[in-house]
Chains A and B, each alone.
Chain A
């Protein structure tokens, strides 16, 4: 786990991004300023709304690599920086920072950007997210606006996996909220953070995205859903995905790839994404 987290940080901070698209600055209804990179799609090709994992930005290497690959293949790309409650956020958010946002707020921003795309382009929209970004895409309710969903390294919040939480802390947070302290800050073990700072309510909101909720959400999706998993993603503990049989859902396993599809896994991921997008057309 620790090794993966260090690799994530390195990928975040070191891997260059070559996305040369236009930067979009918008203001959410609550006044928070958000920004995104946008590259229009070639005719007859969809535009991909690409969502980064929790705390990251569109500079996250896996996201940036996917964005470049997509634009290189003529697909449109909108890569927003989710605000995470911070106006005009351009930097990743540290574990120890105050995480004042909830997944629902993040999903609202996804909806904001889907609407922005609807206003901006006629191209069909493919929603693509990585890790918790995939979870947030799955939470987007108005899937009818989408052509399809590509969920890469999909996670669930639970005692195991890339979005693991400590059950004891979960119990404590529940108890504390019940005692009338929903907004008290606490440091929690979440995902790769051992001291994820957030309020009890926010933490408990994250914790609702467990296996049951995710499987339920997958069952409810009406557009084609492609789940891409690395078969060496040890952080992935969703064995039930393999047994889950849904008519519009397809799971793609990439041999030898890890959670971040680093190394040669990145090319396999890109090829797979392009393959899926082309087949979808």
Chain B
């Protein structure tokens, strides 16, 4: 963690650095001043010694001048001549004269023989003068007295007497000639009873302490005072700085930080947002800018949230139906896989597919198709539980996940969905036929992770089963469905079918006879397709799911036509054979295919050709299909409606389409074996069609009983394994040759 000091810590560091800098500076100044003081002290010592010498010289001159003035004074000479009143002169007259100075302790006059004029000389003064010139110094306690003697001369008589002065040495220097550089009280001379020709020699034996210069003392006091004041100022400024830093910086910044934290928790657009208020103008500006910025950010965030929500909706919702889209499904599925795997929750996957949606879309147009999807999705949503999500995986395929739902509960919801969709009022949509959905369900406990991963696939397999003709619209996955589903999901099959379409090499045409029920003779052969997959034949149950899934009906039909054309041309088929060709709805609408069929009919006029089309194929663009069929009928083709009963089984189509006959689906044919009302209806339907003049063909004749039954009902033709199994062209040839 990076250590980030606070402003207070920075302030303290600043103050410490400032204090240290001041301390160093102050110490340097103090040292420099001390050095200067030492230099000044040395200079003062020298000056003091010089001053002492000078002042001793001045004292020397003063004493000598005084002695001379006294000697020259006429009253002194009067005393030397008539010393009768000497004491008056000594004690009164001489001390009142201007030349007398205060530190003279005593004065005595001596005659020319050196004898004192006084009978009783003053204390310490000799009665007879031995030293008659110069100085003699005597110690008196801590101080010293100097005795100065000098001769008094007369112009004519020479020395007429002597004068002796006793003077307080230290006192004289202190009072009369004070020395600025010396502590006068400390001045001592290391001498006693010593003769001195001159007072200046006292310098050599003087002891004293130098006086610190007043300027130096004043300067030292000034420096110290300024240092103390500066230190006090530093302390004061530091305290002031801390206070200001806390008041003006730290607290406002903390408050600012709290304000920002408050902004984070309180949206700027909220009524609870408190405006900031600071003493510092700059901080107030920053805060105002921050609030404006925060407001803009909040507005941008709100706008972004809205945009994100819209984007999320766009990304996760289907624009048409409003339900969740495939992306949302994949995200939720991934989340569910992660969240609930291993738990005991039962999870069910429901896959919903709209039956014949493509046909509806092609027939009524995309607008109607879109409305169908909206209605279906709305209906399914109404059937789901609260919290269940409906996803549109693509096209007409929807899905939902049931968490913690049992298989029965999921089946019940699926049933509600089927019924709800079936109850949609299609007339409001402009559709004259009901809507249906096929639902595949796959259920597994979440503990089974492998099953969880395969749930979608299993539901898909189940839905495939549900969509198979004759099956319930709801299929719950079990492992038996796996083989059927493999058809669609087998890449090998797909590639084989694709190869057969593109090359036609592996495509084999087999032929199954359609017997005339009246004569029991073969009337025609239905052309059935097989694909030779390395010696193994691949049957329509595996081929057509791929064809439909890949939407290659036209291409496949083209290949079949080409193959038939070639075999007819090669005389591989019986001469004049009546051939019935299955054709997809898309091929009927395809002009090239129409051209190709017309060309086929034209080339093989000896062969009666019949086209079998399914009911659902006609639903797509019915008008166009009818027109094309009319063209083909005019060209000689017979038109059969195939697999009647495996779809809408609309009588309306029968009346409106240009067809020559109807081929009942095996499911209707097998119904005839029953004795219930279904059999009655089918029989009645068959009779109605027969009465309308159509040929009626029964598929799935697998035994005599059903054959008899269809003959009884009145079917004109029958087809099935009981009557004739599909065979190859070669086998057909051989069969025809034998018969």
Residues of chain A at the chain B interface (Cβ within 8 Å): 31-33, 85-91, 93, 96-98, 100, 183, 185, 197, 199
Contacts and interface: CB of A to CB of B under 8 A. Distances in A.
B75 A86 contact: yes
A100 B155 CA distance: 23
B236 interface: no
B89 A98 contact: yes
Contacts of B89: 98
A86 B74 contact: yes
Contacts of B74: 86, 88-91, 93
Contacts of B75: 86, 97-98
Contacts of B725: none
- Scoring A31, A91, A98 by chain B CB atoms within 10 A of each residue's CB, the highest score goes to A98
Nearest to A183: B84
B721 interface: no
Interface in B45-92: 74-75, 77-78, 81-82, 84-85, 88-89, 92
B93 A97 contact: yes
B78 A85 contact: yes
A98 B75 CA distance: 8
Given A183-B84, A197-B88, A100 B96 contact: no
A147 B521 CA distance: 230
A87 B73 CA distance: 11
B268 to A, nearest CB: 108
A100 B77 contact: no
- Scoring B82, B89, B96 by chain A CB atoms within 10 A of each residue's CB, the highest score goes to B82
A54 B96 CA distance: 22
B93 to A, nearest CB: 7
Interface in B123-149: none
B339 to A, nearest CB: 136
A100 B92 contact: no
Interface residues of B, number: 15
A97 B93 CA distance: 7
A85 B82 contact: yes
Interface in B427-482: none
Given A31-B81, A88-B155, 12 more contacts: A33-B156, A85-B82, A86-B74, A86-B75, A86-B81, A87-B78, A88-B74, A90-B74, A91-B74, A98-B88, A100-B82, A185-B85
A96 B92 contact: yes
20 contacts: A31-B81, A33-B156, A85-B78, A86-B81, A87-B78, A87-B81, A88-B77, A89-B74, A90-B74, A91-B74, A93-B74, A96-B96, A97-B75, A97-B78, A97-B93, A98-B85, A98-B89, A100-B78, A197-B88, A199-B85
Interface in B509-559: none
A98 B81 contact: no
A33 B81 CA distance: 11
Interface of B is mostly: helix
Contacts of B155: 88
Contacts of A185: 85, 88
Contacts of B93: 96-98
Contacts of B156: 33
Contacts of A96: 92-93, 96
A89 B77 CA distance: 9
A32 B75 CA distance: 13
Contacts of B96: 96
- Scoring B77, B82, B84, B85 by chain A CB atoms within 10 A of each residue's CB, the highest score goes to B85
Nearest to A100: B82
Nearest to B74: A86
A33 B78 CA distance: 11
A31 B156 CA distance: 12
A163 B378 CA distance: 164
A81 to B, nearest CB: 10
Contacts of B81: 31-32, 85-87
- Scoring B75, B78, B81, B156 by chain A CB atoms within 10 A of each residue's CB, the highest score goes to B78
Contacts of B88: 98, 185, 197
Nearest to A30: B81
A98 B85 CA distance: 8
B282 to A, nearest CB: 87
Contacts of A85: 78, 81-82
Contacts of A183: 84
A87 B84 contact: no
Give me the 3 closest cross-chain CB pairs, A-B, nearest first. Answer: A86-B78, A98-B85, A86-B74
A35 B120 CA distance: 35
- Scoring A89, A91, A97 by chain B CB atoms within 10 A of each residue's CB, the highest score goes to A97
A197 B88 CA distance: 10
A4 B593 CA distance: 177
Contacts of B92: 96
A185 B86 CA distance: 11
Contacts of A90: 74
A96 B97 CA distance: 11
Interface string B575-617: 0000000000000000000000000000000000000000000
A87 B160 CA distance: 12
A221 B53 CA distance: 68
B80 to A, nearest CB: 9
Nearest to B92: A96
Contacts of A86: 74-75, 77-78, 81
A32 B631 CA distance: 198
B117 to A, nearest CB: 13
Interface in B330-370: none
Contacts of A31: 81
A177 B82 CA distance: 21
B84 to A, nearest CB: 7
Contacts of B85: 98, 100, 185, 199
A100 B82 CA distance: 9
Contacts of B82: 85, 100
Contacts of A91: 74
B131 to A, nearest CB: 27
A89 B92 CA distance: 20
A109 B81 CA distance: 18
A87 B93 CA distance: 18
